[in-house]
Structure 1
Amino acid sequence: MVAGVLAAGLVAAGVTPAWACACGGFLPDVESRARAYGENALVEHSGGTERITLSMAVNGSAKKAAWIMPVPAAAKVELGDGDLFYRLDRMTRPKIVHRTTYWPFRNLGIMGSGRNTAGAPAPGAGVNVRQEMLLGPFAVARLDGSSGTAVTNWLRTNGYVVPPTLAANLTPYLTEKWEIVAVKLAPRQDGEPLTGATPPLRLTFASDRIVYPMRLSKGATTSQRVTVYVATEHRVDATKLPDPAVQPELLFAGRVQDQALPKPADYLTAYTVNYSDPGRITDDFTFAPAANDDAYQRVHVITRNEGLWSTIGVVFGGLLLIGGGAALLARRQVRRAARRAES
């Protein structure tokens, strides 16, 4: 299963790449300060078929942008479900637990915080363009190439701003005969800015393993946050890490009901990870079935502290109850003793 590596570029020349978002980078146009602040990716695997759906969120506005996504086999590219990631977010949110405490010094931490914590070839040489199409606001090109330099020359000639490290980072994928999907995002009308969340894009291809490409992200110069929802028949573990020193955080594991996740691919496992030093990334994510299908959901505890006076009230109330009970018991004992004396 593959989730794409995000890159963005402009037709305008002379723009310096500024990598800034999950699984790759975002390049704003000359006139804007737009940045990509998030990327959602759902990767699905069932019966030897892999599918990725992803959407990028842009803060600010840009006139043009693009994704570069390596995939291990020829891909079918289409638009995805616009509400998908809203539903996934709701399904994997933490469980809220409310708790009341009368401890007057909880903010001191005594009781805990209440949280779960070479010479360039001619343009186009060495590149095979398998398909070009228009999908909504996307212009899609499926490519393979003889080298990273050949592919980046094609990208540059066709209006992409190419970071200096992109050719070297593409080379391992091209050596392994992966396909490169280049996707331009552009407003429907000239002059209209690109902002907010992009429509989800879905890629489907054959694969005998679950893999999430991350090697292009080593070219990033800022911290990279990646969140991946993996939908398959069983819970999955991350068996290979982009940076072995950085462990992903498990957000959710369990069976879910959603029209986009038909059986048997209805077990959802969600991970998130932040790479503060993307240059240490050397590999892709791979996932495999876990030892069991144990469910997991984060818990967020909301503590209501009634404070010192409530504590005093509770203590005195308890003492009054105890005192009243003792007095009642004493009166009963006196009455019993009097009745015995009279008899």
Structure 2
Amino acid sequence: MKLWRMVAGVLGFAAVAVGVTPAWACACGGYLPDAESRARAYGENALVRYDGQREQIVLSMAVHGVSKKAAWIMPVPAAAEVSLDDKNTFYGLEAITAPKVVTRTTYWPFRNLKITDRDGSVGGAPRGPAAVDVRQQMTLGPFQVARLGGSSASAVTNWLRVNGYVVPATLATNLTPYITEKWEIVAVKLAPKETSGSLSGATPPLRLSFASARIVYPMRLSKGATTQQTVSVYVASDHRVDASQLPDPSVQPKLLYAGRVTDRPELTGSHNYLTAYTVSYADPSRITNDFTFTPAANDDEFQRITYVTENDGWPSTLAIVLLGPLLIGVGAALLARRSVRKSRA
């Protein structure tokens, strides 16, 4: 596992170093890149906590490049409380859901050869038109946050444009279902502290908390993306959950982990059953729904397995190399002798 992580890290660093923009974007909502600065989000983690009445979504994105305008839009079904979350949240979740390493021994004449099977499994800004309800504006760490309601998607996108957000041509169309359903729109702008500063690496996790009768993870805005969309969602509730409604019914998410976790601050009380999924959408235009998660039929646990094959060391290898031919020869002689006896009989 360490070898794969090392390779992935080197490749990721090399891609950034040569100016290659990875084909990832924020799958939680509408990521609005700053075309001038070429800032991009190339990774995302999301923790969804649910206690039966309120839902929390914790987001952290990896950003490369200098950004003054880059932002993302997150629709939520009810008025949201927005705050920063613990910066170490996702380190703990990644450790919990990592594949279990199972070592298998080999006696071939290669010392410390490792072969891995990665897929084994057992405020103050100008107000917009009257049709937009600016409910709150605040600054949280490197973010400028606005909570918006609106009578139409065009009114909301006009407000975003007036207030310095980059607005793609398809945003109003993709926002319309949320506005029709009276969802609140949380607009988050990346705001470096210095004019010439840059945002890179993982952003501080941002937490949105709101009332909800179901576990939902907004995805419909990703329909407007032009590159592959990848998202990993960690769902913490009282039981294991299934992805009962899919953004694209033709693309099934991959289960990463399922089990109770009792020793992590991210998962408290009785809502400590963690179910983790990941999924990639090669054709985001096929996305038509949000994720909805519902209780599974049982709380069966699941953890991926990575098999690592290691040589037992030079003593056993030498013994096999030296004794192997002798044992084979003895076995062949015994078989020949038995054959002779049978023929005489």
**TM exceeds 0.5?**
yes
3-state secondary structure, aligned to 1:61: coil
CA shift, 1:184, in A, is 1.4
Gaps of at least 5 residues in structure 1 are: 1-17, 106-111, 325-343
Alignment of 1:298-317 (within 5 A): 298-304=304-310, 313-314=319-320, 316-317=322-323
CA shift, 1:130, in A, is 1.1
CA shift, 1:306, in A, is 7.3
Counterpart in the other structure of 2:26: 22
Deviations 1:253-282 (A, max 9, x none): 111121121111111110000000000000
Structure 2 CA distance, aligned partners of 1:60 and 1:167?
A: 26
1:188 counterpart = 2:193: yes
Pick aligned residue for 2:170 from 151, 161, 165: 165
1:116 counterpart = 2:127: no
Structure 1 CA distance, aligned partners of 2:85 and 2:304?
A: 28
CA shift, 1:304, in A, is 2.6
Structure 1 CA distance, aligned partners of 2:135 and 2:23?
A: 28
Runs of 4+ in 1 over 4 A off after TM superposition: 112-115, 309-313, 318-324
Contact 2:32–2:168, Cα closer than 8 Å, also in 1: no
Contact 2:32–2:166, Cα closer than 8 Å, also in 1: no
The 3 A distance-change label for structure 1 pair 276 and 198 is: same
Paired letter, 1:279: S
Contact 2:24–2:230, Cα closer than 8 Å, also in 1: no
Counterpart in the other structure of 1:286: 292
CA shift, 1:303, in A, is 1.4
Pick aligned residue for 1:44 from 16, 40, 49: 49
Structure 1 CA distance, aligned partners of 2:31 and 2:79?
A: 24
Pick aligned residue for 1:143 from 124, 148, 162: 148
Counterpart in the other structure of 2:301: 295
Structure 2 CA distance, aligned partners of 1:301 and 1:169?
A: 43
Contact 2:104–2:310, Cα closer than 8 Å, also in 1: yes
3-state secondary structure, aligned to 2:200: strand
TM-score (norm 2): 0.79
The 3 A distance-change label for structure 1 pair 114 and 261 is: closer
1:132 counterpart = 2:120: no
> Which has the higher Rg, Structure 1 or Structure 2?
1
CA shift, 1:100, in A, is 2.0
TM-score (norm 1): 0.79
Contact 2:54–2:212, Cα closer than 8 Å, also in 1: yes
3-state secondary structure, aligned to 1:116: strand
| Number of aligned residue pairs | 296
CA shift, 1:26, in A, is 4.6
Alignment of 1:54-69 (within 5 A): 54-69=59-74
3-state secondary structure, aligned to 2:192: coil
Structure 1 CA distance, aligned partners of 2:265 and 2:53?
A: 20
Paired letter, 1:140: V
Structure 1 CA distance, aligned partners of 2:142 and 2:214?
A: 31
Contact 1:19–1:27, Cα closer than 8 Å, also in 2: no
3-state secondary structure, aligned to 1:28: coil
